[in-house]
Amino acid sequence: MEKRNSVFECQECGYASPKWLGRCPDCGGWNSLVEERRERGRPGGKRTARPARLGDISTEAIPRIDTRNPEFNRTLGGGIVPGSLILLGGEPGVGKSTLLLQIARSLEGMSVLYASGEESMQQIRLRADRLGEPPAGAGELYLLADSSLEGILAAVEEVKPGALVVDSVQTACSESLESAPGSMSQVRHVAVTLLNLAKRTHLPVFLIGHVTKDGAIAGPKALEHIVDVVLYFEGEGKRNHRIIRAVKNRFGAANEVGIFEMTSRGLLPAANPSGLFLPDRELSAGSSVVCALEGTRPLLVEIQALVVATQYSNARRVADGVNYNRISVLVAMLEKRLGVQMTGSDIYVSTAGGIEVNDPGADLGLFAAIFGSLRNRPIASRTVFVGELSLSGDVRPVPQAHLRVREAAAMGFSRVILPAGNLPLVDPVGGIELEPIDTVAELTELIFP
């Protein structure tokens, strides 16, 4: 006989308690525990899967589904893996629904069910019309305006699509739970149910997720553990480009990025990704160009730094697009290794185009930009910096240096300053002058003789 199971679950962090509490003992949130009721059957029910020997498992490569979008294919590791559960999160209005609607209309010979709990079918149709005609050979697109999980599953049984899009996981809800849509238990239950559907039927499922004010996916942290792929949309509404970053991918490289341009026809793959983050003029004092590795893609990015005398009792350090702690380390290295006093200076560092650069291989360019602004001298044009800095002031080798040099050559640069340890691993490239260095002291002599 089934029994009623009732727990009180925190809507902020997912903490569960057998009784109501005014304050969550885990996250400290007030009045955040809500009663969650669900049916509970006996353990050890009907078995749906059987074990198999490792040697009996087929090792043939699973064919991926081409999305006809090279940038989106890149973030997924080469295309959609059948039976995968993919979560796409981002700020409101950044283009999540638009992109997945484009993908749904582009899959060759494959029907797609687009289930939305936020828009009516007429609204989705209007948005689809703005995107223009679908490519030749695309399968049928079925629309469903329903937030009920049971309704979505019934539609899947009826239509039998080749892929499913749920917009969004926070609005979808199950009738078996009494909690409101978007609650911890609802989001977790919806995700687990759709995961089981994907694995059982080899149906690829896309989930659109809302984000909190801190930029994290709304709902329990377990949501990101449940899904196979987590994609984050980066970009501001005022810019015409968007970046999708794969922070988790069971079928490809993590931290891979896809770069898109927002047009009247929706989000299109960027024809020249590095060109979006490079200046169209001569570099001024405090600017440098680095070649950062985003996943497996080398990307040229302009770094801008501004060093000015402080007007406050404590000097300010502001970082936009780069790691704040890394800037603090580089400034400390500047003081220790070069004997430059920075305690009375405000330092502002940002990346052009709003892209996030987390690659340690950008250290050398960050250091050069800060030092150039301090000396108020521009760096020679067509120069690219590649290298990681240690606390001792040494320039350490970076991975994939040959790819970075090739990208610099492809973008018309003529000079690459790189770690001496990378020089034997880099094949000569026509038109590129390679200048190896071992310490930051050599760097300052090289760029400002």
Instruction: Report the alpha-carbon distance of residue 105 to residue 85 in Å, rounded.
Output: 19
Whole-model pTM above 0.85?
Answer: no
Listed in order, strand segments (DSSP E) in 135-190 are: 141-145, 163-167
Query: Which of the four pLDDT bands, split at 50, 70 and 90, describes residue 59?
Result: low
| Angle at which helices 184-201 and 149-159 cross, to 10° | 20
Sheet holding 16-17, edge to edge: 16-17, 3-10, 33-40
Q: How do residues 283-303 score in pLDDT, each as one tens digit?
A: 789 999 999 998 889 999 999
Q: How do residues 298-310 score in pLDDT, each as one tens digit?
A: 999 999 999 999 9
Residue position matching structure tokens 């009375």: 344
199 phi, psi to nearest 5 deg:
-70, -35
If you ran DSSP here, which 8-state letter would residue 393 be given?
Answer: S
Question: Mean pLDDT across the chain, nearest whole number?
Answer: 89
Q: Are strands 415-419 and 433-437 parallel, antiparallel or unpaired?
A: parallel
Query: Which of the four pLDDT bands, split at 50, 70 and 90, describes residue 238?
Result: low
Query: Which of the four pLDDT bands, split at 50, 70 and 90, describes residue 10?
Result: confident
Q: How many residues does the chain have?
A: 449
pLDDT of residue 40: 57
Average pLDDT over residues 109-136: 94
Residue 1 pLDDT exceeds 50 = no
Q: How do residues 366-390 score in pLDDT, each as one tens digit?
A: 999 999 999 999 998 899 999 999 9
If you ran DSSP here, which 8-state letter would residue 182 be given?
Answer: T
Q: How do residues 406-427 score in pLDDT, each as one tens digit?
A: 999 999 999 999 999 999 999 8
Q: How do residues 77-92 score in pLDDT, each as one tens digit?
A: 999 999 999 999 988 8
Structure token digits, residue 153:
């599953």
Query: Which of the four pLDDT bands, split at 50, 70 and 90, describes residue 41?
Result: low
Q: Which long-range contacts (CB under 8 A, 24 or more apart) does 295-299 make?
A: 295/74, 295/246, 295/253, 295/254, 295/255, 295/256, 295/257, 296/253, 296/256, 296/400, 297/74, 297/256, 297/257, 297/273, 298/400, 298/403, 298/404, 298/406, 298/407, 299/257, 299/273, 299/274, 299/355, 299/407
Residue 43 pLDDT exceeds 60 = no
